[in-house]
């Protein structure tokens, strides 16, 4: 799996750019705020069919332009492929052409995976599962639509009698979401544990899915209904649905201690690194396609040992990786293709002359 050429038009601060990537390692160099992350975002949107930075894609259209347009050519397991993505401002519209393929994005915000809000961890699972499981993607959309309707019925006295009408469908979709999240975490854990033990010897990593509104895993529809019925009075009093995957959380522990309470910044970075590397292996196993890796200014956040471990993981001959950084010094031994990004313009890197 590799992208060969990326074409970008009117996307973020990029007016027009054509970028040729190395099949192995490409380094995008430039000062902060010049458009490096925007290029990674363009790659992600094309390969995943959705944006990781915003739910309103029209926000990515360059100011003053009516349409943003992205295209990439590449190959999947030796077969040529083309991706196209178009975002229109008015009326708001998006079109996407091309297969959804696995991508693993590393960003400085990953440190909040184990420390931030439960919503961030739910989003991590949704972004991992939805692009490659159509049933999950449909269930997530349907679940949140039903949840809004059920919550509205709980809030309005005139609709109290229809609350139960939404519950069977909510249970059906919610149960599938729970099952897939539980299965995925069970598969990710041994991968993440092995990686974490290499990056941080002596630290034992554990993860578990905390089911929303329940102390125990939900095994079937019967136990789901039982839990909802047990909290019916509380739901009416609080006017909101209290049981379901919209209240899930993922618990991370290091040496049996909850990371939201006890982990240092260094431990949080290492945990995030272990988890993301595990998702790379999981996606590869799940789809049969080696994911492209996008590294957005993360090396500066790591100490030398973890930096070397990450670079070793992403610098194999068959792995395509695109990295952003403010300078190329850390990558010299890996012989990357280096491109310079300045004010949305992408050019070949010309290193500054060395002083005599």
**How many whole angstroms separate alpha carbon 49 and alpha carbon 85?**
8
With a CB cutoff of 8 Å and minimum separation 6, the contacts of 136 are 129, 130, 176, 177, 180
Q: How big is the CA angle at 144 (ends 140 and 146), to the nearest 5 degrees?
A: 115
Instruction: Quote the tokens at residue 168.
Output: 């069977």
Question: What are the Cα distances from residue 78, in Å, to 1, 74, 75, 289?
Answer: 8, 9, 6, 11
33 annotated binding-site participant:
yes
Instruction: Quote the tokens at residue 97.
Output: 């052409």
With a CB cutoff of 8 Å and minimum separation 6, the contacts of 208 are 185, 250, 251, 253
Nearest residue to 48 via CA among 13, 88, 1: 1
Q: What is the DSSP string of 201-242?
A: TT--EEEEEE-TT-SS---SHHHHHHHHHHTHHHHHHHTS--
31 annotated binding-site participant:
yes
The β-bridge partners of 235 are none
74 annotated binding-site participant:
no
213 annotated binding-site participant:
no
Please give the backbone phi and psi of residue 170, each rounded to the nearest 5 degrees, phi first.
Answer: -60, -40
Instruction: Quote the tokens at residue 96.
Output: 């996407």
37 annotated binding-site participant:
yes
Instruction: Quote the tokens at residue 226.
Output: 């039982």
Strands 2-11 and 257-258: unpaired
32 annotated binding-site participant:
yes
34 annotated binding-site participant:
yes
CA atoms within 13 A on the CB side of 206: 10
Number of other CB atoms surrounding residue 84 within 10 Å: 14
Contact 73, 80 (CB under 8 A): yes
55, exposed or middle or buried, with CB in 10 Å at 0-12, 13-18, 19+?
A: exposed
Binding-site members for ATP are: 30-37
Q: What residues are designated binding site? A: 30-37
């Amino acid at each position: 799996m590799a992208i060969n050429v990326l074409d970008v038009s009117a996307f973020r601060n990029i007016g027009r750019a054509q970028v040729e990537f190395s099949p192995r390692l490409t380094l995008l160099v430039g000062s902060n705020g010049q458009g490096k992350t925007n290029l990674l975002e363009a790659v992600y949107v094309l390969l995943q069919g959705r944006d990781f930075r915003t739910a309103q894609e029209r926000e990515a259209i360059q100011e003053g332009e009516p349409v943003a347009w992205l295209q990439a050519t590449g190959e999947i397991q030796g077969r040529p492929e083309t991706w196209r993505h178009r975002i229109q401002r008015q009326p708001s519209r998006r079109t996407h052409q091309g297969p959804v393929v696995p991508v693993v994005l590393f960003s400085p915000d990953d440190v909040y995976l184990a420390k931030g809000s439960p919503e961030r961890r739910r989003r991590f699972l949704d972004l991992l599962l939805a692009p490659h499981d159509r049933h999950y993607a449909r269930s997530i959309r349907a679940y949140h639509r039903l949840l809004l309707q059920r919550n509205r019925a709980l809030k309005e006295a005139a609709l109290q009698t229809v609350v139960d009408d939404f519950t069977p469908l909510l249970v059906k979709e919610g149960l599938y979401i729970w099952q897939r999240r539980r299965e995925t975490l069970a598969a990710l854990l041994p991968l993440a544990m092995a990686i974490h033990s290499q990056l941080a010897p002596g630290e034992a990593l554990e993860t578990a899915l905390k089911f929303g509104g329940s102390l125990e895993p939900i095994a079937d529809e019967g136990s789901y209904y039982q839990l909802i019925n047990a909290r019916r009075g509380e739901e009416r009093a609080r006017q909101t649905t209290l049981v379901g995957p919209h209240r899930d959380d993922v618990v991370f522990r290091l040496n049996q201690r909850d990371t939201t309470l006890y982990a240092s910044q260094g431990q949080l970075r290492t945990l995030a690194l272990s988890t993301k590397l595990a998702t790379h292996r999981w996606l590869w196993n799940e789809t049969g396609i080696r994911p492209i890796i996008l590294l957005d200014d993360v090396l500066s956040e790591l100490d030398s040992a973890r930096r070397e471990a990450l670079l070793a993981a992403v610098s194999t001959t068959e792995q395509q990786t695109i990295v952003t950084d403010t300078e190329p010094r850390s990558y010299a031994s890996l012989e990357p293709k280096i491109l310079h990004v300045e004010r949305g313009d992408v050019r070949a890197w010309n290193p500054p002359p060395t002083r005599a």
